[in-house]
Every structure is written in structure tokens, then in C-alpha cells.
A and B are shown apart, each in its own frame.
Chain A
Amino acid sequence: MTTRLGDWLDERFDWRKVWAAIFLRKIPHVNWLYTLGSATLFVAGLQIVTGILLTLYYVPTPDHAYDSVVYITTQVTAGWFIRGLHHWGASAMVILTVLHLLRTFFYGAYKFPREVTWLSGVFLLLVVVGFGFTGYLLPWDQKAYWATTVGTRIAGVAPGIGDAILRIARGGEELSAVTLARFFGAHVWVLPAALLTLLVIHLYLIIRIGITAVPGRDE
């Protein structure tokens, strides 16, 4: 039955070739450090699923944000679990992305012909940090408020353009409803769009070029 359905679909869009290209490609003999990228991808998927679920109840306005988060955590069935996954997953994302970058760096995997993979990865790291920074404000509690106050102020000390960056990030002089709304918009629309675009490039290149072997002494 499933084979027949598979054949039917394969006749129409050749999916087995795509499957083979993605999952049955030859890879060199590597070690566990090479799973860091896949681990990052897995947690990213988890963040997307739990993040979408959180938006079902979360409201990004100063008069509702905190209460809706408390509602999710204490009233909604399994809300504590979904939010907990998203909360800890956020930290895991940053840690895994950095470890993945270090593995790539120390194994020299960023060299020809993989410079573009590396570059897209560096931008992906920036996107992940952006997710962390914008997501941190959303619960709109004391920690969120003051962390964002400090974070945007740090951006503000950049020479010359600092003040402009601070005002653009906050959407004005002070942290306000505008700040919360734009951080939310960045967190659920702008950054996911950037993440998915870069991810498609990153994964395409990994599959197209193949992964590096562990560098040896003789090479």
C-alpha cells in the first residue's frame, strides 16, 4: 500500500531522487561533533513549533503581555511545558549554534569550497542572537524590561550612529508599547523569514557540496 502510494508519487515528482540526495548521500567517516548542526536544526524546529503555539495566547501589548504569559504558564493545559520548551530551547539554540561554529572553525571546514556555507552560518548565528534578544523582552516582566533597556543602551554607545540605532530599536526615546510591538514583529515575522531563507541556502550548500572529513596530519 505505502509502496504503491510511494510509486504513484514518485512517478509524478521523482521524490525518491530528492530523498536519496538528502538522506542517502555518502559522507566521510566523521565523529559526534558533526551532529551539532543537526542538533541545532532540531532545536530550531522545536522553537518554531512551540513558538507558534505560544502565539495562540500571547498578546504583545504592555497591558496584556505579562498577564497572557502568566495565563499560559499557570492556566492553559501543558502551557508551562510548551513555554518551558521554548524558554530552554532558546538557550540551547545559542549554545548549539556557537558549538557548531567552533567545530566548523577548528576543523577548517569553512575553507574552499564552503565559504558561502560558512558565511550563511555566520548570518544564521546573528539571527539566532536576534531571536534571543527580541524574545527576551516579550514576557514584559521586570527582567525583560530592564534587560532590554540595558541591551538597547549598549547598542546606543556605538560611535556616531549609536543614538540612531537606539531610537530605531526602541521605536522612540524610551521603551514603550512601540518597542514591545516591534520586538514581537521582529521575533515572529522578520527573523523567522531571515532564518528560513538562510537555512535553505545553508542546507542546500551542505547537501550540494557535501561535508568535510575530519582533517588529518598528512593533508
Chain B
Amino acid sequence: MEPSNTEITRRHFMSVAIAAISSFIGAAVGLPGIAYIIGPALKKETEDWVSLGAISKVEPGSPTLFKTTIERQTGWITDQEEVSAYVLTEDGQNYVAMSNICTHLGCRVRWIAEQERFFCPCHNGVFGKDGSVISGPPPRPLDRFETKVDNGVLFIRRG
């Protein structure tokens, strides 16, 4: 039996209608679903000045580790987060604050005073006093924070 034209049209119409409605419902749930998944990743962290401590603690010529904790809102939890920076001054006037996070894969570097080097324990990255790469896999020098000194207190800007 040869299907008549009207039957083909009807079936075709139904297929298109079902596909259209399905796509609409899929988009109505799918697009908010994607936004829901990636939403927190798109949230920018607020930049802020963090006080590290008295500037007098910095020994000229040797990177000094400053540690401080700040409150941070992560998801529904208010958390204490440790912020660390190595602060270096050569002349007692200009201060450089370096992140202690290795630029390779994010382990924490440590200043070994005897060797005048920063060492990263994970993959043997070695940085000089000013944060420049001396050997190993790190692709760039240690990151630096913007600094300011106010009333003898050193601040860094994190964000």
C-alpha cells in the first residue's frame, strides 16, 4: 500500500513538532544546568589589602616569611585561610613581597638561608633570592604582590 501524501505530511509534522518541543525542554533545563555547574567558577574573588605585620621584622638582604590568616567565604563556609609571602628588602626602603607558591605546579617553596635559594620540594624547582628561576621546571619567577607600608605595617594586595 502506497502511503498517501497527507499521511507523510502528518508524520513529518509530528516528528518536527516532537523534535522542537524536546529541544525546547532540553534547552530550558540544560542551559540553566550548565550555568549552575560553572557559576561558582566564574565568581571573581575580591581583591583586598592584607596586613602581614611589622615591617621591622624584615632583615635586609634576606627573604623573610610572613604568615597571616584571613577570613574567606567559600561556598557556604566562612573559612580561615593562611596567606604567606616572602618579603625582601635590600635597602630598607623598597620592599618586594613574593608568593611562596611555586610557579610550576603550586607546591610551597622554602627559603634555605645557607644556600641563598628557594627550593621547591615537589619537582626540584630552584629560585634565587629575587624569585628568579635558577633551575628546574618552573616556567616563570615567583609571583609578586603589590605592597604598601602604612605606619610601619606591611600590606600586600591579594586577589
**Chain A interfacial positions (CB closer than 8 Å to B):** 46, 49-50, 53, 56-57, 64, 67-68, 70-71, 75-79, 81-82, 85
Contacts and interface: CB of A to CB of B under 8 A. Distances in A.
Interface residues of B, number: 13
A53 B37 contact: yes
Given A68-B75, A78-B39, 16 more contacts: A53-B36, A53-B37, A56-B36, A56-B37, A64-B76, A64-B77, A71-B75, A76-B40, A77-B36, A78-B32, A78-B36, A81-B32, A81-B36, A82-B32, A82-B33, A82-B36
Contacts of B36: 53, 56, 76-79, 81-82
B16 interface: no
30 contacts: A46-B29, A49-B29, A49-B33, A53-B33, A56-B36, A56-B37, A57-B75, A67-B76, A67-B77, A68-B75, A70-B76, A71-B75, A75-B40, A75-B75, A75-B76, A76-B39, A76-B40, A77-B32, A77-B38, A77-B39, A78-B33, A78-B35, A78-B36, A78-B39, A79-B36, A79-B39, A81-B32, A81-B36, A82-B32, A82-B33
A69 to B, nearest CB: 9
State the 3 A-B residue pairs at the shortest beta-carbon distance, nearest first: A77-B39, A78-B32, A71-B76
Interface in B2-48: 29, 32-33, 35-40, 42
A79 B42 CA distance: 14
Contacts of B38: 77
A87 to B, nearest CB: 14
Contacts of A70: 76
> In this complex, which of B29, B37, B76 has the most chain A Cβ atoms within 10 angstroms of its Cβ?
B76
Contacts of A50: 29
